[in-house]
C-alpha cells in the first residue's frame, strides 16, 4: 500500500484508524496509548508532518483526553512529535541528531549487555532465543515486515534483559525512538531481512558458544550497518529527514571511525 504524501500535514484519520479493541479498558490507558501511537509513528503509518487529531483518536479508543495527552508528552520527550502552540501536534521529521544519539546509546549499552548475556548463558535463555530465531526465519520467508521488526526488537530485548535488566532495555528503547524509524524504513528493501537475519544468527551463535568476543563483534557489525541504511534512505527518501542531515552524518562517522 503506498504511503501518504508527505509534502503537507494531513489528518491522522485519513491514513490510520485506531479501535477500541486496541485498548484493555481494565488496565492503565496512558501506557497503552503511548505504545499504539509510537508504533504507528515508527512504522510510518503516521509519517513525518502528519497532524495528530486528538479528538478522533479519543473517540476511536473511547478514552478521555488525559491519557492521550500524557502519551503525547512522552512522545514529545522522545522527539517523535512536535507540539506547536496554537497550531496543534504533528509527527516530527526524522532528525539525524536524535538518530545518532540513539545509535550512541545502543553502541554503549548493547555492546556491553551482549557480553554479559554470553557469560550468563543457560538452557532457558537459549530456548527463548531459538524460538525467536525460528519466528524470524518464518517471517522473513513470508516477507512480513511488521512482524519481523517486532521479533527483531524482541531478540534485542531478550539479550538485554538477560544480560542486564528490564531497566537497561527501557533506557535503550527510550533513546532510540528516532533510530527505530530509520530501521523500520529499511525493512522492505530487497534482501534486507535476509541480511539482518544472518547478523542475528551470528550474534546468537556467539552467545550460544559462551564466546563474548564473538557475540560482541557480531553485534558491532549489526549495529554499525545503520550508517549504510541512513545514507541509502537520505538518497531515496530525503523528504523524511530534517535539514542538515548530510553534514551531521559525515561528522558522526568521522567521530566513530
Q: What is the pLDDT along the chain (257 residues), one digit of tens a residue?
A: 333 333 333 343 345 788 888 888 888 899 999 999 998 998 888 988 899 999 999 999 999 999 999 999 999 988 899 998 888 899 998 888 888 889 899 999 999 999 999 999 999 999 999 999 999 999 999 999 889 999 999 999 999 999 999 999 999 988 888 899 888 888 888 888 999 999 999 999 999 999 999 999 999 999 988 888 888 887 777 777 766 666 666 666 665 65
pLDDT value of position 12: 38
In CATH terms, the fold of domain 12-91 is Arc Repressor Mutant, subunit A (1.10.10)
Q: Where in the chain is the domain with CATH 1.10.10.10?
A: 12-91
Residue 56: count other Cβ atoms within 10 Å of its Cβ.
Answer: 14
Phi, psi of 69 (to 5 degrees): -65, -35
pLDDT value of position 6: 37
Q: Where in the chain is the domain with CATH 1.20.120.530?
A: 96-256
Q: Are 243 and 97 in contact (CB under 8 A)?
A: no
Contacts of 196 (CB under 8 A, 6+ apart): 148, 152, 222
Say which CATH class 96-256 falls into: mainly alpha
Q: Name the pTM for this structure.
A: 0.80
Long-range contacts of 242-245 (CB under 8 A, 24+ apart): 242/93, 242/94, 242/95, 242/96, 244/96, 245/96
Amino acid at each position: 500500500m503506498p504511503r501518504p504524501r508527505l509534502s503537507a500535514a494531513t489528518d491522522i484519520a485519513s491514513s490510520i484508524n485506531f479501535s477500541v479493541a486496541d485498548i484493555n479498558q481494565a488496565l492503565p490507558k496512558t501506557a497503552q496509548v503511548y505504545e499504539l501511537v509510537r508504533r504507528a509513528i515508527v512504522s510510518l503509518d503516521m509519517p513525518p508532518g502528519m497532524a495528530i487529531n486528538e479528538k478522533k483518536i479519543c473517540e476511536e479508543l473511547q478514552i478521555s483526553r488525559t491519557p492521550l495527552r500524557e502519551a503525547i508528552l512522552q512522545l514529545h520527550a522522545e522527539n517523535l512529535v512536535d507540539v506547536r502552540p496554537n497550531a496543534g501536534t504533528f509527527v516530527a521529521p526524522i532528525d539525524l541528531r536524535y538518530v545518532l544519539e540513539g545509535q550512541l546509546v545502543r553502541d554503549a549499552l548493547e555492546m556491553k549487555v551482549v557480553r554479559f548475556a554470553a557469560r550468563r548463558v543457560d538452557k532457558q535463555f537459549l530456548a527463548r532465543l531459538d524460538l525467536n530465531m525460528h519466528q524470524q526465519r518464518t517471517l522473513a520467508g513470508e516477507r512480513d515486515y511488521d512482524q519481523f521488526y517486532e521479533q527483531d526488537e524482541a531478540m534485542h530485548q531478550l539479550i538485554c534483559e538477560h544480560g542486564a535488566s528490564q531497566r537497561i532495555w527501557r533506557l535503550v528503547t527510550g533513546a532510540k525512538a528516532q533510530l527505530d524509524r530509520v530501521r523500520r524504513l529499511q525493512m522492505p528493501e530487497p534482501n534486507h531481512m535476509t541480511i539482518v537475519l544472518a547478523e542475528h544468527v551470528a550474534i546468537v551463535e556467539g552467545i550460544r558458544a559462551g564466546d563474548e568476543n564473538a557475540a560482541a563483534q557480531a553485534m558491532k557489525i549489526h549495529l554499525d550497518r545503520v550508517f549504510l541504511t541512513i545514507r541509502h534512505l537520505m538518497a531515496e527518501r530525503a523528504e523524511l529527514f530534517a535539514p542538515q542531515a548530510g553534514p551531521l552524518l559525515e561528522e558522526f562517522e568521522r567521530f566513530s571511525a
